[in-house]
Amino acid sequence: MEIKNKKSIKAFNTPGLKGKITIPGDKSISHRALILGSMCVGKTIIKGLLESEDIFSTINALIKFGVDIERKENGDFVVHGVGVGGHLQPDEPVYLGNSGTSARLLIGLVSSCDITVDFLGDESLSSRPMNRIIDPIIRIGAEVIKGDKNKLPFTVKGSSSPLPIKYEMKIPSAQIKSAIMISALNIRGETTIIEPVLTRDHTENLLNIFGANISITKNKLGHKSISIRGHKELKPTNIVVPGDPSSAAFIIVAALIVPGSSVVIKNVMINKTRSIFIDFLIEMGADIIFLSEYQNSGEKVVDLKVNYSQLYGIDIPSTAAPAMIDEYLIISIAAAYAKGKTLLKGLGELRVKESDRFSAIKNILQLAGVRFESFDDDIVIYGNSGSVKGGCLIDTNLDHRVAMASIVMGLGAEEPIEIDDGSSINTSFSEFFGIMKTLGGNIKNNEK
């Protein structure tokens, strides 16, 4: 059930979620596999690529850069790479919809190529900060020659003679780190990135698979140091994209808060920079069983069994924020159903996501009748011990995670919870409603 037009969606109290489902491919790895495959000479085959609006933004952009990408009948995607530095000048502006990952990674790609690109986005993407990627690419030698460099739309002129840099991350961001690494592949000499706070490491893992000249050490302060020597030809390969843990989080929490639920979730990637939220849910009392473990494209993957559980409030420190920034919305829903107080610290970065998710958490909780307090970048949630009133309409502000978190809350609430529009969910998890209905979720929609 893919929502293609603007539709009001309503979630009703559900007697229990039951069944076995498979989580679609990881969004972060899908973006990166496409871009790195485009930098090879030869054919890269990607199995399990996430087919979402954000991923098609990256695909359409790469096609405009001269890359041939085809989808086979079996669902595999074949990327016919143009080599490092082989991307062409597009004939028209590159529109990236709502995809911040597409924007930042592709800006990195362009920065060390001798081409000029007009980057555009939708209203939401055009409101998000881009200055944090502009600083390093200017040091590399690229320019913003038209537009406000802080926000899209703007025009990036890549450097014809890009320079290697040493860059210390000021703000933990896997997107900025990855953009610099992608740029470094087309720069002579050694580019080094210092990462005081660890962020998701999928780009590093994939660069090893594609045969890049990358080394990872620790500096004198114990911080991660990533060095890349550019102009090494990448080798085309076969990639199997593991399941997206950020998507799995919504199914996991739904099973935990809806009484009588027992769900098996297959193909969940377990990466220490992405799946820490599962550790915190287990600390809250979640009955989550690891059924099996295997490997896909350098990542550990597991099948999980999740049973309804009485959850308990805990403290989640600010140090967890870089690894679970996409999960705070759904963790706040788990906290609303928990017994006792949950403290979420260091949520400032939520204000500059697809919407102001810091405000979104407070709005959902208030409308659903859950008591909370907020202080600076922290939120304290006073759980309702398994019972949430609901009976409200949530404005999603075109944010897919706000939409999914609200629907999950409604499945366990006493009264229905409605969202104004479910179409944004297609940006990351178009199978969400279909999976929920397969498991028995009581969800209805009305086209507006």
Distances in whole angstroms, Cα of residue 253 to Cα of each of 276, 298, 305, 308: 14, 27, 12, 9
**Alpha-carbon gap, residue 306 to 304, rounded angstroms:** 6
Burial of 436 (0-12, 13-18, 19+ CB in 10 A): buried
Q: Phi/psi of residue 200, each to 5°?
A: -55, 140
244 is catalytic: no
Structure-token pair, residue 382: 């006073």
Instruction: Provide the terminal-to-terminal Cα distance of the chain, rounded to the nearest Å.
Output: 17
Of 26, 54, 303, 326, which residue is the catalytic one? 326
Query: In this structure, are residues 33 and 107 in contact, taking their beta carbons and an 8 Å threshold?
Result: no
Specify the pairing of strand 77-82 against strand 116-120. unpaired
Residues catalogued as catalytic: 326
